[in-house]
Amino acid sequence: MATLSESWCVRFHRDGSIKDVADFLADFPETTLEEICAVLLTDQQLRWLGEPGPRVEEYLLHFPTLAEHRSLLLDLVYGEARARAKLGFAVDADHYQQRFPSIAEPFSKQLELAGWIHTPSVPERLPSLPHYPPNANGMARRFGNYELVKQVARGGMGIVYEARQDSPRRIVALKMLSSDRLFSAEDVQRFKNEATAVSQLEHPGILPVFDVGESEGIPYFTSRLIEHGTLSDHVHSLCRDPASVVRIVQCLASAIHHAHERGVLHRDIKPSNVLIDDEGRIYVTDFGLAKLIHASGDLTHTGELIGTPAWISPEQAEGTAGAATIFSDVYGIGAVLYYLLTGRPPFEGNNPVDVLARVRESAPRPPLLLNPKIGSDLNMICQKAMDRDPARRYASADALHQDLERFRQGLPVLARPLPWLEHRKRQIFRHPVLSAVTAVLALAVTTMLCLITVFMIREGQMNETLATSVRNAQNANVDADRLRADSVRMRAAAVELQSNALLAQRDAIRARDSSEQLLYAAHLQSAAEAISINDARSAEVNLDECERSVESTDLRGFEWFWLKRLIEIPVSETDSMMDNPRCMSYSPDGRLLAVGDSSGFIATFDAMTMDQVVMWETQHDMAQSISFSPSGQLLATGGENGAICVWTPENGKLVHRFKLPGKSSRAHFIDDIHLVATDQSDLLFIIDMFQKSVTEINAELGKVYDVAAYPEERLFAAIGKTGVGIRQLGLEGVVCFIELFDVPTRQSLQFSCNGKQIAFRDDERSIQVWSFAFKGTSNLLFWERFLDEPRGIAFSRRGGRFAVGDGAGGLHTWLIDNSQSETEFRPASPVRWQSRESRVNAVAISPTTNGILSATKDGSLRLWQPDFFEPVTTISQEFHPSSPFGDLSFAPNSTLLAMSSEHGIQLLNTSTHSCTRIGDERQRTEMVEFSPDGRYVASGSKSDTIVELWEDPTNSNEPKWRREKQSCDQLVFSPDCKLLTVVDWNGDQVVILNSATGELVTQLPSPQCWAAAFAPDGLHLAIGQLDDVQIWDCSTWSRHQLLQGNLSSTTSVAYSPDGRWVASGSKDRTIRIWDAMTGQQAHRMLGHSNRVISIQFSPDGKSLVSAGREGTIKVWHVATGEFLCDLWTSSTSLPFSTTFATDGSRLAARLHDGQVLLFDTSRSVRTQSPGQH
């Protein structure tokens, strides 16, 4: 009968999910404590396989009486320590002694016997050589990060040493290529293949790889050291115990099956490649000849022998490349079983050639003949595994494992002896001469028997009938047993398939989630890069891709909405009902808007409501220009038929018509009487409407493309093939000439609002702005190249803004400082919005609202209100005088912002920008922090060495308590607001105070500490000390975990809102994110060119914001560790600290010059302005 431990193991694997062991034992109320402990030890091994399992305390909750029996408790504690060591975790004796003081002494002795506690000592200085081969003793004492202790084994290619690893400190087995011989590239590749093959295998029966690398040109890898020897060393004791042999071979088959499932063939299974420890567990090693099952390439060539002659399969012995398969490894397992049952290899000979011949030509002697104690079933299992025909062997190592399990449980096995005919057929092929002689003798004997049989036929018939009945009954029994065995096997296979399907589904979900996160980060990076080069169209496409990738989970962080707002500002849209608008202009008073289209129609609109006033058909085939007179009472148009027409804009009545010689005309008012016009020839025409005369002027520019006018000074300009000529009405000649290259595509000419600058398109994709003086020099002030063809230019008449449209539907706008002189034109960084999918034909800026109007090919008129767009708000310095220290903290209401200053604490209302002050104005405040519930605000000063706390800060100007002679570098409240943490770099400590009273709770030694952060649940405190992050247990104030990896001082730490991640910023310019539970580093982010000053997780935990000393504020993707975008960049005003509002709607940043930046980080996008259509 199976033991309780075995029954629990079967149920654990059969059910496909983890069950509660306490529920299992509840079904056996009369179980003894020893049996309970045995079941718990089995459960412990199963749950700690590959990942951390339950602690001993969890078992004691269900079975408290175990704690009263020291020996049973010692077994459980020792079992947990062994499991942690197998996973690579350090085993701290002091930690276990604190948890279980009743067994402290025997546990320490047991650990010392196991060799897990290494007493620090100064080892003897060993001689070392810079290069291999080894020294006089036959070995190099140092190899990379390892100290070689002694040689354990040597093979044809490699040497195995017992080695001591420096960090983590442990004894390992180090295998490397022998340094005293030369190897081919294939030898080196085979050695690397072994490390690669084993590193992807995780099985209790396969020796795990700890490290893979190369030192001084010699590849190596390390694994666990097993000192008890191999199966070859223990064969004589094992062959007397078939039950132990079956258990060992089952473990071997399970390990090899695991390798096959991962696509790895061993190809050299033999007893000397199977290690055994002092507890009887076996470990498969030496994957030097391993091969990927589905690999397209192989280091083995035709005719090259792979494996050891006595242990390889017949197909391997033939030396055919690619002959080794899963069946070859099954044969090797059968050979090991044969060896352990009989004490001798399957084949022996005087030399390897003789052995190979025996392998190819004959079958091994049945093991039952060499060891009658093993029984016929075990004999048949061994023979089936070593069948010369691969198709007749077990289909897999797992099938062999299952048949051995049937044998062990006393069930019928699947292995059956060969049919008589098949057996004879094989004998004939192996011994043809002997078979022929035997056949002749058999024929003679048969003839004689036939004569006798004639006389006994009647009796024979009766006997045959009886024998047939008996055989049929026996065969029916055998078939029934086989069907029952097949049914059990199929049920087990179905359970396994279901388990594998669940695991595959989980892995697929994880892979899908990971790919979606990476895709989101990539699209957001592309959008940010597109915005940085003013490519709003590409930015919009990438942001839309981010939105479309959202399925069940919204991956978007605040950064997506931030970038979306950068390319979408309040806009109202009107359908002009016109065919491809080509030109437009506002009246000087901003009351009317006139638009001309490609069909020759003109329409005027009410500029405030965008309602159409009137539309009329002109005599132009296509409207090319449109211009209001300075008084706004007349409207001039030019078109493709060469005519210049003057209209009254309110009713579309024709007032004047002037015909020019050319076919395409453009005109602009110089004053209320005179017009300047061009017909795209080399002439300019001055039209006097009072005299109804047209005066021709030689433009001296070659072919003229466009004209513009500045009525305030009666200036007009023309752009032609050779340059730009500026003239004044009434004066002869040009007042200024700008010479340009001969590019025949120039058009779009526009005067600035002060008439001292002029802008034009100089080729297919560039805009230039020049300053000019009467009879003086001209200077290029601004040059911008566009990704798409610029098609419209506009200056605001009130100044302060400059806009250009492009052929991809984009609208570019610059802010201009009106205080600049006429020879200056230094616009702020441009902003680009996507107007429509179709191209922008014309741009105009409203004289009254400063709104930007774009006309696109599809007939849409879109009015933008860029003055409503404030992505970043800068708080004036008058509220907070400049200070070398600038800390800040949001209240829970996300509106009130506490700021440090030279004179007490400032409380800024971020909605109204009003500011109040609390505290002594003569006292300098360098650090400030709101409690999570908003009840307290604490302040600290490093220079004045004082910490104070205010209760209800908006209504109190006296601190609740004050702690003097306390230096302060950071203040942190616990999540429950009961504790206040003071980081003291000068004192190399972190001071924990009672928030309500200011009394000292404890002091934590923390050398060179800069920052601290509480976990969201308040159970742990992270402190940045030296280059590390030390995690403290807040219930015992003991060290819990040490996170290492930074190369320089840790400057800031933060917990994610869900407590899953711990992040740190460092002077080494990196940001690192660790798993808070395991302490494993998840991401290392490098993007700052100087030290990281502060880091903050966004309230939704999806993003992380960092500030760098080089003057940037960056956003990172927490799930992937990818850089997303820059929020702010400056080379002069460096950020000091950042903080998020509790609701995530704002991000505040304090600069070294004292200014505060408020970033709108809300998850909203406003596309319509109030009161607009």
Q: pLDDT digits over 152-207, tens only?
A: 887 767 889 999 998 888 899 999 887 655 566 777 777 877 777 777 888 999 98
For 959, phi and psi rounded to 5 degrees?
-70, 150
Q: What tokens does 322 get?
A: 């690619």
Res 124 pLDDT > 50:
no
Q: What tokens does 569 get?
A: 């500002």
pLDDT, residue 296, reads: 44
Distances (CA, A) of 764 to 549, 785, 1053: 37, 9, 52
Percent of the chain scoring above 70 in pLDDT: 87
Of 737-751, 770-784, 996-1010, 1126-1140, the poorest mean pLDDT is in: 737-751
Distances (CA, A) of 371 to 118, 403, 407: 46, 20, 17
Beta-carbon-side half-sphere exposure of residue 636 (alpha carbons within 13 Å): 29
Tens of pLDDT, residue by residue over 1133-1169, are 788 889 999 888 889 998 887 788 888 888 776 544 3
Tens of pLDDT, residue by residue over 239-256, are 888 999 999 999 999 999
Tens of pLDDT, residue by residue over 352-365, are 778 888 888 888 99
The confidence band for 912, taking pLDDT boundaries of 50, 70 and 90, is confident
The confidence band for 122, taking pLDDT boundaries of 50, 70 and 90, is very low
- Could you tell me the sign of the dihedral formed by the alpha carbons of 1128, 1133, 1134, 1135, in that order? negative
User: Helix, strand, coil shares of the chain as percentages rounded to 5?
Assistant: 30, 30, 40
pLDDT, residue 432, reads: 67
Overall CATH class of domain 231-417: mainly alpha
Q: What is the DSSP letter of 877?
A: G
The confidence band for 10, taking pLDDT boundaries of 50, 70 and 90, is low
Tens of pLDDT, residue by residue over 215-234, are 877 888 899 999 888 998 88
pTM of structure:
0.49
Q: Could you tell me which residues come within 8 angstroms of residue 926 by beta carbon, excluding any fewer than 6 positions away?
A: 883, 885, 887, 900, 940, 941, 942, 943, 968
Q: Which of 690, 691, 693, 582 is nearest to 634 (CA)?
A: 690
- Biggest CA pair distance of the chain: 152
CATH architecture of 578-696: 7 Propeller (2.130)
Left (φ > 0), alpha (ψ -120 to 50) or beta: where does 700 sit?
Answer: left
Averaged over 344-353, what is the pLDDT?
86
Q: Which of 840, 838, 833 is nearest to 855 (CA)?
A: 840
d(CA 82, CA 1165): 56
d(CA 1116, CA 1106): 8
Are 578 and 601 within 8 A, CB to CB?
A: yes
The confidence band for 108, taking pLDDT boundaries of 50, 70 and 90, is confident
Q: What is the DSSP letter of 89?
A: -
Distances (CA, A) of 26 to 5, 29, 58, 62, 63: 14, 6, 16, 10, 11
Beta-carbon-side half-sphere exposure of residue 703 (alpha carbons within 13 Å): 12
d(CA 541, CA 554): 18
Overall CATH class of domain 142-224: alpha beta
Q: Which of 710, 713, 706 is nearest to 583 (CA)?
A: 706
Q: Which of 399, 381, 390 is nearest to 496 (CA)?
A: 399
Cis peptide before 133 (omega within 30 of 0): yes
Are 1024 and 1011 within 8 A, CB to CB?
A: yes
Tens of pLDDT, residue by residue over 799-856, are 778 889 888 777 888 877 655 555 555 555 566 666 556 788 899 999 988 888 989 8
- Greater pLDDT, 571 or 1100: 1100
Q: Which of 445-454, 777-786, 1065-1074 has the highest mean pLDDT?
A: 1065-1074
Overall CATH class of domain 699-858: mainly beta
pLDDT, residue 946, reads: 92
How do strand 683-688 and strand 693-698 relate by DSSP bridges?
antiparallel
For 648, phi and psi rounded to 5 degrees?
-95, 120
Radius of gyration of the chain (CA): 44
pLDDT, residue 916, reads: 86
The confidence band for 123, taking pLDDT boundaries of 50, 70 and 90, is very low
pLDDT, residue 301, reads: 41
- Enumerate long-range contacts of 22-28, CB under 8 Å, 24 or more apart: 22/62, 22/63, 28/4
Tens of pLDDT, residue by residue over 273-301, are 999 988 889 999 888 666 656 544 444 44
Are 317 and 293 within 8 A, CB to CB?
A: no
Percent of the chain scoring above 90 in pLDDT: 36
Tens of pLDDT, residue by residue over 568-612, are 766 777 887 888 899 999 999 999 999 999 888 999 999 988 899
pLDDT, residue 1028, reads: 94
Averaged over 655-679, what is the pLDDT?
92
Averaged over 778-783, what is the pLDDT?
85
Only one residue has tokens 């473990």, namely 251
Tens of pLDDT, residue by residue over 325-345, are 899 999 999 999 999 999 999
Q: Could you tell me which residues come within 8 angstroms of residue 119 by beta carbon, excluding any fewer than 6 positions away?
A: none
Res 881 pLDDT > 80:
no
Averaged over 368-395, what is the pLDDT?
91
Q: Could you tell me which residues come within 8 angstroms of residue 244 by beta carbon, excluding any fewer than 6 positions away?
A: 238, 280
The confidence band for 105, taking pLDDT boundaries of 50, 70 and 90, is confident
Q: Which of 167-171, 419-423, 429-433, 954-958 has the highest mean pLDDT?
A: 167-171
Res 148 pLDDT > 60:
yes
The angle subtended at Cα 273 by Cα 267 and Cα 279, nearest 5°, is 135
3-state secondary structure of 493: helix
Beta-carbon-side half-sphere exposure of residue 254 (alpha carbons within 13 Å): 17
Q: Which of 887, 889, 913, 912 is nearest to 900 (CA)?
A: 887
Tens of pLDDT, residue by residue over 637-655, are 998 888 999 999 999 999 9
- What's the chain's length in residues? 1173
What letter represents residue 567's amino acid?
I
Averaged over 112-131, what is the pLDDT?
39
The confidence band for 746, taking pLDDT boundaries of 50, 70 and 90, is low
- Enumerate long-range contacts of 314-319, CB under 8 Å, 24 or more apart: 314/359, 314/360, 314/388, 315/390, 316/267, 317/356, 317/359, 317/360, 318/360
d(CA 664, CA 661): 9
Averaged over 51-74, what is the pLDDT?
87
Q: Which residues pair with 726 in a beta bridge?
A: 717, 736
Cis peptide before 168 (omega within 30 of 0): yes
Res 264 pLDDT > 50:
yes
